[in-house]
Amino acid sequence: MTAGRASWGRFLGYGLLSRTAAFAVLVLALGLLPVGDGWAGLLMYLALVVPPTLAARRFALPPAPGKKRPTERRPTATEAAERAVTSYGDLLRLETYRPGPGADPDDLAAYRTALDVYDEAKRSAPARVPELLERGRAALDRLDSARLAGTDITWIRGTGDTRVHVPAPGDGPALLVFETDDLHGGFRVYEGGGRGVRPRELFGVGYEAWSPVCGRARVLVPGRRGARLLLDVRAPGAWRIALRPPGEIRRLEQELRGRGIETVLKDEGCRLIEFEHRARGPFALHELTRTHHTGRLLAEGHDSARLTVAVPERRRTLRVDATGCWILRLQP
C-alpha cells in the first residue's frame, strides 16, 4: 500500500470533523425551512465534507527529511550479517601491514587471524558473524597497537563519560587521536568549556544499531595557551585519546584510503576530488578554516556513494566525517 492511499482515512477524518459541526448549525438554523427530503440533506452534507477532504490531501506536506517512511523495514539477520562482512572486508583492504621475512610472530599471528575471520564469516550462519568479526577487529587493533608501541605517543585511557586534561605537543594546533572499542558509535568528544563558556563539540558519531561503525578519529584542533587541552569524552565503553604534532596529518597525493573521522591535507591548486564512501551511515566532507575550525560543507550523504567534489584551490585542509571506510582521489 502506498503512502498516499494509506493517508485517505486521515484526510476523510479531517473533512468529517471540520464540516459536521457546520452541517449541524445549518440544520438548526434552517430547521423551520423546507430543505427537501432525506436525499437533499445527504447531498448537502457531502457537499460540505468532500471539498475539505480533497483539499487536505492535495496540499498535505511531504514527509520531513530524515524520517522513516511507513514502508521502511529493518534488515533481516542475513542482510545485516552480509553488510557487516562487507564492511569488515573493507577494513582488511585498508590494512597497511604486510608480513615480511623478519615479521614479528605475534604480528603475523594477528594478521592471519584477521584474514581467517573474513573467510570463516562468509561461510558462517548470521548468528555467529558478530562474534567472529569482533575477533577479527581485535586482531587488527593489535596490529595497530604494535606499530604505535615503538613511538613516543602518550595515551590517556578511560571508560564512559570523563573529563580529561590531555598534554599538548606544543602551543600551536595539534592532531587529536581518539579510539574506542564500541562498535556501534554513540561517542562524542568536546573541548571543555570554562566559566560561562559552553563546550564545543570536536567530533561525534551517532548510534548505528544495524551496522558497525569505526571508533576512530584523527582531527586537527586549534592550539591553546598552556601545555594541556581540557576535553570531555562521552562514550559508552573503553577509549583512549592523545594529542600528536600536526605534522602527522596524512596528505592526499593521488589516492588516500581511511576510515572514520580524519583531517587530511591536499596540495594547493587542486580543484576536484573524488570522494567514495564504502559503508552504511552518514558521511560529510568539510573544508577547515584558517583557524582550524570546521568550515563550509562540501558534500554529504548516507550509505555507499561516489561523487566528485569541487574544493577551494587555496584551502589545503579538509575533514572527512564518516562512519566507515572511505577513499579520496585527486581528479585532473
pLDDT tens profile 40-96: 666 666 666 566 666 655 555 454 444 444 555 677 888 888 888 887 887 787 777
Place of cell 585532473: 332
Residues in a beta bridge with 189? 203, 233
Distance CA 215, CA 233 (A): 13
153-180: average pLDDT: 83
Residues facing 230 on adjacent strands: 165
User: Over the chain, what HEC string results?
Assistant: CCHHHHCHHHHHHHHHHHHHHHHHHHHHHCCCCCCCCHHHHHHHHHHHHHHHHHHHHHCCCCCCCCCCCCCCCCCCHHHHHHHHHHHHHHHHHHCCCCCCCCCCHHHHHHHHHHHHHHHHHHHCCHHHHHHHHHHHHHHHHHHHHHHHHCCCCCCEEEECCEEEEEECCCCCCEEEEEEECCCCCCEEEEECCCCCCCCEEEEEECCCCCCCCCCEEEEEECCCCCCEEEEEEECCCEEEEEEECHHHCCEECCEEEEECEEEEEECCCCCEEEEEECCCCEEEEEEECCCCCEEEEEEEEECCEEEEEECCCCCCEEEEEECCEEEEEECC
| pLDDT for 2 | 38
Q: List, in order, residues 6 or more apart from 324 with CB less than 8 Å away.
A: 87, 90, 211, 212, 213, 214, 259, 260, 277, 278, 279, 280, 281
pLDDT at 47: 64
Q: What percent of the chain has pLDDT over 70?
A: 70
pLDDT at 40: 64
Tell me if 187 sits within 8 A of 215, measured CB to CB: yes
Tell which wins on pLDDT, 182 or 15.
182
Q: How far apart are the C-alpha atoms of 43 and 68, rounded to whole Å?
A: 40
Q: Is the pLDDT of residue 257 over 50?
A: yes
What CA–CA distance (Å, rounded) separates 114 from 94? 12
Chain centroid offset of residue 248 CA: 25
Residue appearing with cell numbers 570522494? 275
**pTM above the 0.85 mark?**
no
- pLDDT at 145 (0 to 100): 67
Q: What is the average pLDDT across 222-231?
A: 73
**Is 125 strand, coil or helix?**
coil
Band (210; pLDDT cuts 50, 70, 90): low
Q: What is the pLDDT of residue 59?
A: 52
Mean pLDDT highest for which of 20-29, 32-41, 43-52, 264-273? 264-273
